[in-house]
Structure 1
Amino acid sequence: MTVELHDLLPAELRRSWVVDGTCPDLDLYSLFRARQIMDLHHTAVLDAKGKLCYTALDRKVRCLATGLRDLGIRPGDVVGVQLPNHRNAVIADLALAALGAVALPFPVGRGSLEAECLLRRAEAVAVIAATEHRGAHHAAELHALSPVLPALRHVIAAGPGTAPEGTVPLATLLRGDPSGFVPARPDPDSAARILVSSGSEAEPKMVAYSHNALAGGRGNFLASLIPDRTPPRCLFLVPLASAFGSNGTAVTLARHGGTLILLDHFTPEAALAAVAEHEPTHILGVPTMVRMMLERLDATSEKPAADRKPVTGERQRETLTALILGGAPLDEPTAAAAAQAFGCHVVNLYGSADGVNCHTGLDSTTPPTDDAGVVAGRPDPRVAEIRIADTDTHAEVPDGGIGEIVARGPMTPLCYVGAPDLDARYRTPDGWVRTGDLGFLDEDGTLHIVGRLKDVVIRGGANISPAEVERELRSHPHIRDVVCVGVPDHLMGERLAACVVPRSGEVPTLDSLGQHLTQRGLEQRKHPERLLVVAELPLTPAGKPDRAALREHLAQASVHEAPAAPSLAPAG
């Protein structure tokens, strides 16, 4: 074990969900093997290379597990995975589970600053990364970090191209003889995967999940959206390496024996083509992605949106069950347009890497709405029980009262990784997770979201921590002070604005901010897209920067636009 991962839930409560059948009490690889044995040639993965059945996938998993074992990867070791949505990401997930190791996936495109932070705090002993993906050379970049990561012993380079010097080619590991491999059979309540969430902290949060929490709690979430219990065909528009994407290997394959339909890079054209060609039963994405797909349909049709032809043909409309949208609030016009275009239920998912999940279900074609807040559906105790707590006393609030949303249940994670301060801040002594979100439960037990305690910008379903961006911008030579806030945006939900007090009359530009952040290792999706220059920051009576006043100023002022929008990022 490279880093201590302890369970903050009472052991008797965790085991009670095994006793009552809520959690399967098997490790992820054992669950996958059981599915493989049930249907040897069922399609497991459909990606840019074509189809891969369960039996062929299992052989590759065993080959990689053998190769990783020979490199010295042991049960409890943390191994980073930075790969696009491709069969290699699935193979890595299952191979690490078979070894009893802990996977730490993070999406391609994440900057070296964040990658170094994740690998260092998790004490990762190895990382599997793409040799090249869309102009980024992650394997080489991560190998260059080796001198500052004493725990890191191996960088494994995946994909086409020559593996950088000093790295181990994934192709070599996949050519091993798997005949003698014996799976580790880890404790189902031990750590299997670390989910990454930018949240509201200056550094990304890492959250450790057990096999049971993934296949049980998160698996029950998807089960509630499979009315006929047949293995689903899930089109993932979000990265498998995101928190939302953890519903891929562990849930779609291992728990439900389904098929993963993967795009190595989201574009609205590719997503629409995949829907038409591969006949998914479920599509998982963020509202921004769907808005982009709907806009593309509008652009290719002379008819108004209300008269738009459906995306799907008759056969697809019979098989497509749900469009599941999370990561950001879903507005009513987008939901209605999507339901018409895709001919299926549109589900609003409220959830996070921290251990909360609630959705609007299949009772109606579009999510219900009201004027009191975003309707998030009725909590499912087989996934996560939800309560409302007073923000000051933390006592439970009666139904109808607004307070902080707290959650506890089968999907509750073990703990935060390498961050006892976050455990103390966000976990109660009896294991409840404090979300930092404000909401209430109505008389029918339906959850409504009304706001956020924590300061986070959600751009296209991806969490951006203003504190993280502010920290890096404060080292800019022309900035004296800076506050970053979110501003509403029709397409992306929110965009990040930098409110800057210049130093010595030198006024920075958006270009210079972006260049500085790139040099600091911050990926482009976190760069500000608006710039407001002020002589002084307004302050609240308590002496803190008045973010509400800045947002109001941004709404009224003429602001500088970013020359090009950063690429769309996944849901977290």
Structure 2
Amino acid sequence: MTVLTSGLQAQLTAHADDVMLVSLADGRQYTGQQVTALVEQMKQTLVAQAIGAGDVVVIALANHWIYPILEQALWEIGAIAHPVAPTSGVREILDEFADYHYAAGIFAESFRPALATQTNFLDQTFAIHDQPVYFYRYQQGESFQDGMTLSDDSLAVILNTSGSTGKPKRVGLTHAQLANSAHHIATSQHLTNQDATMVVMPMFHVNAQVIAMLSTRLSGGKLVVAEKFSASKFWEAVADHQVTWVSIVPTIVQMLQQNERARTAFTRRQADVQLKYVRSASFSLPAEQLAAFQEQYGIPVIEGYGMTEAASLIALNPFDTQKPGTVGLPVATEIALLLENQVTNAPNQTGEILLRGDHVITDYVDPKPSAFHDGWLRTGDLGRFDDDGYLKIVGRIKDIISRGGEKVAPAAIEATLRQLDFVADVVVVGTPDTLYGEAVTAVVIPTITDLTEAEMTTKLLEYASTQLSQPARPTQVFFVADYPRNPTGKVIRPQLAATIGK
């Protein structure tokens, strides 16, 4: 057992007769004792499928009650969970298996027709409590860490995060790092076994993995699993299941403000709502919008800052002394700024944000020395401290686009769109979007073609819908004769983003 697995099991044992897991999709409810039995059944089945210590199992599933059970079972046998977006293209996932020789995958049913044509994947579907688990053994799989002995320093998860080159960076988080982050989150939010959270963020994302699921489970609280966020159903679920807090992104805050059915449902169920606050990350809400939400619903919005490489924990606004427009104060994390190759904590200076902590990675799965500076993780984000030590994010060094909490790499999108015969060149930039933070905008230099711009737009969007994951699909398309360039010919992306569509 590790600090992570022993902590999870201790809470299940302590709450053997309490409901610890709820599925909104089908109404299932499981006590701690029942979750323990399901974890044991899952473990035995995975071992029978020859999954063991050091094996990586890809999980491409939408939010589901089986997720936390599956991950705990994998961790207890020393295997490594690798959650990916269920909207990922089949080609994208097949390429990962070919590159890294993972042991197996558990997939959404929608993947089955494509996998049936792949001779390297052996269908070994099984069921857990009448729930089919579409398990596929990869015939060319290898153990990720041969001869490993399970310890707190063993990898528990691998999560993909977009790199500036377009190829995802693989972030490996250990049992200790996950447990440390979850405990720090629980402490900073004063979580107890009387709390309940509803998981509305995608479970393959570190936010749901650690902030929502692990902090709740390790503090003995209840998990309420939603397949996805629904503004019209949000307040009903919060009221029905005594949800006390939720981790969300600014996009969801805005949807709850704008959705008429959500406003009506809140009015109807307000007496039953026990929500104490919502925690928001990804990008800052405008101060006036934050104030409007809090006035409308009477529920505080607590803004914070996290990233996959720090197990989703960096900073959080204190509950009693918030500063809108900032991400708050460091939480169990050392934060500094890199300014002209000097590390500083001086206020009112802008520099690249650096991190250290017992939950922060010290290298990537595929080593990347340039991502570190004298033992500090370089985030690629630009920030500044105010005189009280509150951190404000002021920009990004990298070109990564942040859309509704998901970060996508322009280079990967561009490489895909260049396969279209009417695309001579394409640059993808982030442009302002009041709902999602940034829109994924494709700026195309077309070839000589008989197609109209409307026809090209339709074809590009249709192609993207089959080749790219949901967050990476362009939502806007513009056509230009050329791009703004510097003297060496390199595209000036900020200038392009600022001028298109005007």
Structure 2 length normalisation: TM-score?
0.88
- Map 1:530-545; keep pairs closer than 5 Å: 530-545=476-491
Give the corresponding residue for 1:388: 337
Aligned equivalents of 2:67, 2:270: Cα separation in 1: 31
**Structure 1 contact 199–463 (Cα < 8 Å) conserved:** no
Are residue 363 (structure 1) and residue 308 (structure 2) matched? no
Stretch of structure 1 that moved more, 120-129 or 41-50: 120-129
**Candidates 191, 202, 205, aligned match of 2:169:** 205
Deviations 1:327-349 (A, max 9, x none): 22222233223323443321112
Describe the superposition over 1:487-519 as per-residue Cα deviations: whole angstroms up to 9, x where unpaired.
Answer: 111222211111111112455622211233345
Aligned pair 1:77/2:28, yes or no?
no
Greater shift in the superposed pair: 214-223 or 291-300: 291-300
C-alpha change, 1:311 and 1:484, in structure 2 (3 Å) is: farther
Q: What's the counterpart of residue 388 of structure 2?
A: 444
- Determine the C-alpha separation between the residues in 2 that align with 1:465 and 1:403: 22
Match of 1:313 among 261, 266, 270: 270
* Structure 1 position 458 matched with structure 2 position 458: no
Name the amino acid aligned to 2:104: A
| Equivalences for residues 6-45 of structure 1 within 5 A | 26-45=2-21
Match among 248, 255, 279 for residue 324 of structure 1: 279
Q: For residues 157 and 427 of structure 1, what CA distance do their matches in structure 2 show? A: 43
Change (3 A) 1:52 1:199: farther
Q: Report the residue type matching 1:45 in the other structure.
A: L
Which range moves more in the overlay, 199-208 or 230-239?
199-208
Distance 1:269 1:497, change over 3 A: same
Q: CA deviation at 1:199?
A: 5.0
- Which moves more between the two structures, 58-67 or 533-542? 533-542
**Which residue number in structure 1 is paired with residue 140 of structure 2?**
none
Question: 2:158 pairs with 194, 203, 208, which one?
Answer: 194
Which letter maps to 1:428? H
Q: Which amino acid aligns with 1:325?
A: S
Which AA in structure 1 matches 2:42?
A: L
Aligned match of 2:180:
216
Unpaired runs of at least 5, structure 1:
1-24, 132-136, 169-183, 302-307, 557-572
Could you tell me which residue of structure 2 aligns to residue 522 of structure 1?
468
- Residues 125-274 of structure 1 aligned to structure 2 (within 5 Å): 125-131=103-109, 137-142=110-115, 144=117, 147=120, 156=125, 167=136, 186-226=150-190, 229-247=192-210, 248-253=212-217, 255-274=218-237
Asked if structure 2 preserves the Cα contact closer than 8 Å seen for 1:197 and 1:243, the reply is no
Which of 423, 431, 434 is equivalent to 1:487? 431
Change (3 A) 1:473 1:116: same
Q: Which residue of 1 aligns with 2:83?
A: 105
Query: Scaled by the length of structure 1, what TM-score is found?
Result: 0.78
Give the C-alpha shift of residue 424 in structure 1: 1.6
What one-letter code is carried by the residue in structure 2 that aligns with 1:78? V
Partners of 2:268 and 2:160 lie apart in 1 by 33
Matched, 1:377 2:321: no
Matches of 1:323 and 1:127, distance apart in 2: 33
**Residues 72-126 of structure 1 deviation map (CA, whole Å, 9 limit, x = unaligned):** 1111111111222221111111110111111111232222233234444443201
Equivalent position of 2:245 in the other structure: 282
Measure the CA separation in 1 of the matches of 2:21 and 2:266: 29
Decide whether the 8 Å contact of 1:126 with 1:156 is kept in 2: no
1:336 corresponds in structure 2 to 291
Distance 1:158 1:340, change over 3 A: farther
> Which amino acid in the other structure matches residue 458 of structure 2?
D
- CA–CA distance in 1 between the matches of 2:372 and 2:352? 13
Match of 1:427 among 340, 358, 372: 372
In structure 2, C-alpha distance between the alignment counterparts of 1:59 and 1:469, rounded to whole Å: 43
Q: CA deviation at 1:195?
A: 2.1
Q: Per the alignment, in what secondary structure is the counterpart of residue 344 of structure 2?
A: coil
AA aligned to 1:503 is T
Shift of 1:201: 4.0
Provide the rounded CA distance (Å) in 2 between the counterparts of 1:409 and 1:313.
Answer: 40
Q: Does 1:498 align with 2:442?
A: yes
Given the alignment, which residue of 96, 99, 123 partners 2:101?
123
Are positions 1:416 and 2:364 aligned together?
Answer: yes
SS of 2:461's equivalent in the other structure is helix
- Aligned AA for 1:528? P
- C-alpha distance in structure 2 between counterparts of 1:142 and 1:452, whole Å: 38
CA contact (8 A) 2:216 2:223 kept: yes
Contact 1:85–1:262 at 8 Å: present in 2 too?
yes
Taking a change above 3 Å as real, the CA distance of residues 155 and 84 of structure 1, as seen in their structure-2 partners, is farther
For the residue of structure 2 that corresponds to 1:454, the secondary structure is: coil
Provide the secondary structure at the position in 2 that maps to 1:291. Answer: helix
In structure 2, the residue matched to 1:348 is 303
Q: Deviations over 1:380-428 (max 9, x none)?
A: 2x2x2111112x42543633211000111021125322x32xx222123
Deviations 1:202-258 (A, max 9, x none): 02222111111111123312321126x3442111110122111112443321x2111
- 312 and 424 in structure 1: CA distance in 2 versus 1, 3 angstrom threshold: farther
Partner of 2:22: 46
Deviation at 1:287, TM superposition (A): 1.1
Distance 1:286 1:56 in 2: 32
- CA spacing shift, 1:120–1:208, aligned 2, 3 Å: farther
Instruction: Give the superposition deviation at 1:265.
Output: 2.3
**Kept after mapping to 1: 8 A contact 2:444/2:479:** yes
CA distance in structure 1 between the aligned counterparts of 2:475 and 2:438, rounded to whole angstroms: 10
Counterpart in the other structure of 1:56 = 34
Deviation at 1:71, TM superposition (A): 1.1
- CA distance 1:433–1:310, change in 2 (3 Å): farther
Cα offset, 1:161, TM superposition:
9.3
Counterpart residue type for residue 250 of structure 2: P
Amino acid at match of 2:382: L
CA gap 1:190/1:231 in 2 versus in 1, 3 angstroms: farther
- The alignment-based identity, stated in percent, is 27
- 1:5 maps to which residue? none
Q: CA contact under 8 A between 1:283 and 1:324: conserved in structure 2?
A: yes
Give, in whole Å, the separation in 2 of the partners of 1:186 and 1:310: 51
- Is this contact kept in 2: 1:460–1:492, CA < 8 A? yes
Which shifted more, 200-209 or 446-455?
200-209
Write the distance in 2 (CA, Å) between the matches of 1:158 and 1:539.
Answer: 56
CA shift in 2, pair 1:92/1:539, >3 Å: same
Aligned residues: 483
User: Paired residue for 1:6?
Assistant: none
Instruction: Identify the residue that residue 177 of structure 1 maps to in structure 2.
Output: none
Asked whether 1:66 is paired with 2:44, we answer: yes
Question: Aligned with 1:495: secondary structure?
Answer: strand
| Secondary structure at the counterpart of residue 481 of structure 1 | strand
Aligned equivalents of 2:60 and 2:389: distance in 1?
40
Shift of residue 483, structure 1, vs aligned partner: 0.6
What is the DSSP-based 3-state SS (H/G/I as helix, E as strand, rest coil) of the residue aligned with 1:415?
coil
Distance in 2 separating the partners of 1:163 and 1:211: 25
Q: Structure 2 vs 1, CA of residues 102 and 296 (structure 1 numbering), >3 Å: closer, same or farther? A: same
